[in-house]
Amino acid sequence: MWELLARSLEASTIFLFAALGELINQRAGVLNVGLEGLMLFGGTTAFITAQATGSYPLGFVAGLAIGGLLGLAHGFFSITLRGDQVVSGMGLWILSFGLTTYLGNPHTGPLGLGRIASFFGLSPFFVLGVALVGITWFLLFRTTQGLAIRSVGENPAAAEGSGISVTAVRYVCVLCGGVLAGLSGAAYTLSYNPVWNYNFLMGWGFVSLALVFFSMWNPWILLAGASLFGIMWQLSLSPELVLPGVLSRYVWRMVPFAITIPILSVISTPWFRRRWGLARPEALGRPYEKS
């Protein structure tokens, strides 16, 4: 049972890293729907680098770097060029989906390095994830810089008026978001499931994106949501542990996605928005034009 729980928490870390990055992005008013693409690229680059050099740290550095670069690319399009953020995000996703399938294919198969050490079966990344949640919360809600980020996401014109550079804050946030998405991909291919496969994420990135909406842009709720989804995901992979012989395993694989849709609908209702959802950044997805 502990093994299953530890494994679930490791799965939830993947959701957590990516979603935390997206949360920071969105708090600054930038929507990146291409999260899955950043994760795919980060994961694939980390995998190839680690396999080629035999070094985990180098793999992580490569994954984080490529995630950051793609985050900046999204930033350039959506902040500097003030383009449509959905177009750019979707572009990043399909670009990464196509290119990583090509680049990673010769590396299909296991990583072939020793597994990363764990504390009594619990992945060190989960600890890192909880720490990052704490840091993000403190940064966003207890520091001047956090106030700057939130104000840029709510009302960029007013923020600019009070002496904050909207462009600079948004760039820093998309960089953080990209790096965290890269970390999430790298944690997947180097630790959670060190086997490269074509399109290995199969929708994790989009679930992470949905988690940000569930979390009402609060890191602690995000942590709880990611943990729940991690457990659900792990159970859907091995349903025989709970309900042996009930329904096909393929039906269980649909469950996490099927649950996401009604939750998304409930949190989008006017009733819920009035009651809880006021945290949605006001300027989310809207480019800012300095006047």
Partner 1 sequence: MRLGRYDVTLEPRTTRPAFYSSLTAAGAILLALALASVLFLSAQTPLLEAYRAIFSYAFFNPNGLLATIHRSIYLLLCTYAFLVPLRAGLWNIGLPGQVYAGGVAAFAIPFVFRTQEAQTLSLPPVLLILLMVASAAAAGAVVGGFAGILRARFQVSEILVTMMLNSILFWLVAYMIKEGGPFMSPRGEGESFALPPALHAPLLWGVPFTAVLALGAAVFLDILFAKTPLGYRIRAFGQSPAAARYGGIIPLALSLLVFLLGGGFAGLAGYHYFAALPGVYKISGNYGYYGDLSFYGIISALIARGSSLGAVPIAVLFAGLSLGARFAQGELRLPFGVDYALLGLLMMTFVASHVLYQFRVAWRRVPSLALRHAPTQLPPG
**Which residues of the shown chain bind partner 1 in the complex (CB under 8 A)?**
33, 77, 81, 83-84, 86-88, 90-91, 94-99, 101-103, 105-106, 198-199, 202-203, 206-207, 209-210, 213, 248-251, 253-254, 257-258, 260-261, 264-265, 268-269
Nearer to partner 1, 132 or 232 (CB): 232
Query: Least distance (Å) from partner 1 to the CB of residue 258?
Result: 6
Query: Least distance (Å) from partner 1 to the CB of residue 147?
Result: 28
Residues contacting residue 251 through CB under 8 Å, at least 6 positions apart:
none
- d(C-alpha 229, C-alpha 19), whole Å: 12
C-alpha of 149 from chain center: 19
Name the token pair of 28.
């600054």
Nearer to partner 1, 88 or 191 (CB): 88
Query: Least distance (Å) from partner 1 to the CB of residue 90?
Result: 7
Query: Least distance (Å) from partner 1 to the CB of residue 54?
Result: 22
Query: Least distance (Å) from partner 1 to the CB of residue 69?
Result: 13
Return the closest-CA partner of residue 38 out of 77, 84, 73: 73
Query: Least distance (Å) from partner 1 to the CB of residue 151?
Result: 24
Nearer to partner 1, 123 or 215 (CB): 215
Nearer to partner 1, 224 or 259 (CB): 259
Exposure letters 11-27 (e unless 16+ CB within 10 A, then b)? bbbbbbbbbbbbbbbbb
- d(C-alpha 64, C-alpha 175), whole Å: 10
Beta partners for 110? Answer: 195
Name the token pair of 91.
């572009």
- d(C-alpha 274, C-alpha 291), whole Å: 32
Nearer to partner 1, 137 or 257 (CB): 257
Nearer to partner 1, 52 or 87 (CB): 87
- d(C-alpha 126, C-alpha 112), whole Å: 23
- d(C-alpha 31, C-alpha 86), whole Å: 8
At 31, phi and psi to the nearest 5? -100, 125
Nearer to partner 1, 41 or 56 (CB): 41
Name the token pair of 133.
């949640």
- d(C-alpha 99, C-alpha 115), whole Å: 27
Return the closest-CA partner of residue 49 out of 57, 59, 39: 59
Query: Least distance (Å) from partner 1 to the CB of residue 150?
Result: 22
Contact (CB, 8 A) for 35 and 208: yes
AA letter at 123: S
Query: Least distance (Å) from partner 1 to the CB of residue 221?
Result: 18
Nearer to partner 1, 2 or 250 (CB): 250
